[in-house]
Amino acid sequence: MLKSEYLQRVYSQVVTRDPDQREFHQAVLEVLESLDLIVDKHPEYEQHGIIEAFVEPERMISFRVPWMDDEGHVHINRGYRIQFSSAIGPYKGGLRFHPTVNLSILKFLGFEQILKNSLTGLPMGGAKGGADFDPKGRSDDEVMRFCQSFMTELNRHIGQFVDVPAGDIGVGAREIGFLFGQYRRIRGSYDAGVLTGKGLAFGGSLARTEATGYGLCYLTEEMLKCMKGDSLAGKTVVISGSGNVAIFATEKAMQLGAKVVALSDSNGYIHDPHGIRLDVVKDIKLGHRGRIKEYAERVPGSVYHEGFRGIWTIPCDVALPCATQNEIDGDMAQTIVKNGCMAVAEGANMPCRPEAIRVFQDAGLLFAPAKAANAGGVATSGLEMSQNSMRFSWTFEEVDSKLKTIMTNIFHNIYDASVECGVPGDLVVGANIAGFLKVAGVMLAQGLI
């Protein structure tokens, strides 16, 4: 419950204006609960309407996306771009193509992106976008036609100094390539910095594909080291999901000495008590876009179970939820605690419900929120923008080293902020406050009201 009357008014206004946007309400409330600890010390926030401006997007764009399938039938989807904050840099955030995409989800993601980008230390604002289009089961030609139609409208709202989209769920290297090609044709200019996550041959960065999963493990390792005097070495790890984040979190966790025993997709999960064979997972998911159940058919001793949420019944030392929002509720969090888990770090965006986070914190588990733990992807997108501006490419090792430094600094910034606020070790509070203070200070300096 919010103590500040000012924050109560702000939250009430958010809910009243958009009563059906539950995901957005959840994200805003979590941040306001953290700001409750400092808002009385900053009367200038209320005087200048800083928090009211902070929770309201600067611009919301929606548009129809007509496209033709391979049989000649025309389909109409809905596209969006939520440009939330440009206080510290051009809007920056991914595009998501998935049937569940709506304003509430994109506003929650864009709002989180402001803080995440702030924590990286790079000059990037916050945004998110996408469409309720499902690329699964569609041919390359159908996806190309959709992306071209989508970019035909989006191009007028973006630019390397205005708004720089990237990929997200349903938007990978294939989609980014089609989007960039259409942007280049329409604009008649080779502005490589307008999109990140591009192919290496046309301005992409080495280590970008691996960045979110690698960064998640770098921050988790630093959290274990500094708060427990421990490491990932020898730990049993469960990772939900089997996309890029989960796959490369698995790869880095294994490199750091952990044993990953489970992965999932939207249908179910696999459990391999001997340790996941990453080559098989990569072949299934990156090679031919298959389903995770194929793993059990190919690896003796592993088992496939229907229902992806059941993955959290598997005992582990470290849990890395990398699938989707709100996948862990309070009851499942209790199960994770009872099974002896010591640390949870969010690889997906908001995969733990608020009641789950409280369960983890009350039980004394280490918990790293998504806006800090999965910031490696956007951090490396920022590094890609830098390389594009320089017309230069760093080696994989150089990018990976910069990524590790950024993630290590993020951990220490959010931990130090938690200490300064009187809640040492509460990294949710630390991330919210550390990210907000930078943006709020710039808003005041620029006169943004």
Residue appearing with tokens 């080291």: 225
Q: How do residues 176-221 score in pLDDT, each as one tens digit? A: 999 999 999 999 999 999 999 999 999 999 999 999 999 999 999 9
% pLDDT > 90, the chain? 95
Whether 265 shows a pLDDT value over 80: the answer reads: yes
Q: Is the dihedral of CA 255, 258, 263, 269 positive or negative?
A: positive
Which residues, at least 6 apart from 282, have a Cβ–Cβ distance to it below 8 Å? 247
Q: Span 27-49, mean pLDDT?
A: 96
| N- to C-terminal Cα separation, the chain | 26
| Cα 134 to Cα 21, 60, 290, 324, 350, distances in angstroms | 21, 22, 16, 16, 21
Measure Cα distances from 178 to 145, 208, 239 in Å. Answer: 9, 18, 31
pLDDT value, residue 1: 82
Predicted TM-score (pTM) above 0.85: yes
Q: What is the DSSP string of 39-107?
A: GGG-HHHHHTTHHHHHTS-SEEEEEEEEEE-TTS-EEEEEEEEEEEE-SSSSEEEEEEE-TT--HHHHH
Task: Please give the sequence-ordered ranges of beta strands (E in DSSP) within 278-372, or none if there are none.
Answer: 303-306, 318-321, 343-345, 366-368
146 vs 141: CA distance, rounded Å: 9
Q: What is the average pLDDT score of the chain?
A: 96
* pLDDT for residue 324: 85
With cut-offs at 50, 70 and 90, classify the pLDDT of residue 440: very high
Amino acid at 323: A
**pLDDT (0 to 100) of residue 449:** 58
CA dihedral (123, 125, 126, 127) positive or negative:
negative
Percent of the chain residues topping a pLDDT of 70: 100
Are the CB atoms for 67 and 145 separated by under 8 Å?
A: yes
Give the residue from 306, 305, 238, 312 showing the smallest Cα distance to 276: 238
Q: Which of 92, 107, 116, 128 is catalytic?
A: 128
- Strand boundaries in 292-379, DSSP class E: 303-306, 318-321, 343-345, 366-368
pLDDT computed for residue 350 by the predictor: 85
Helices (H), 98-231: 103-120, 140-154, 173-187, 208-228
pLDDT tens column, 286-343: 988 899 999 999 999 999 999 999 999 999 999 999 998 889 999 999 999 999 999 9
Alpha helices in 391-426 (DSSP H): 396-420
Give the integer Cα–Cα distance in Å for 194 and 379. 16
Nearest CA-CA partner of 178 in 139, 133, 148, 212? 148
128 is catalytic: yes
Partner residues linked to 107 by β-bridges: none
Q: Residues 209, 210, 216, CA angle at the centre, nearest 5°?
A: 130
Confidence class for position 448, pLDDT limits 50, 70, 90: low
Nearest to residue 218, comparing CAs of 392, 449, 405, 351? 405
* C-alpha distance from residue 380 to each of 122, 263, 317, 399 (Å): 10, 24, 28, 7
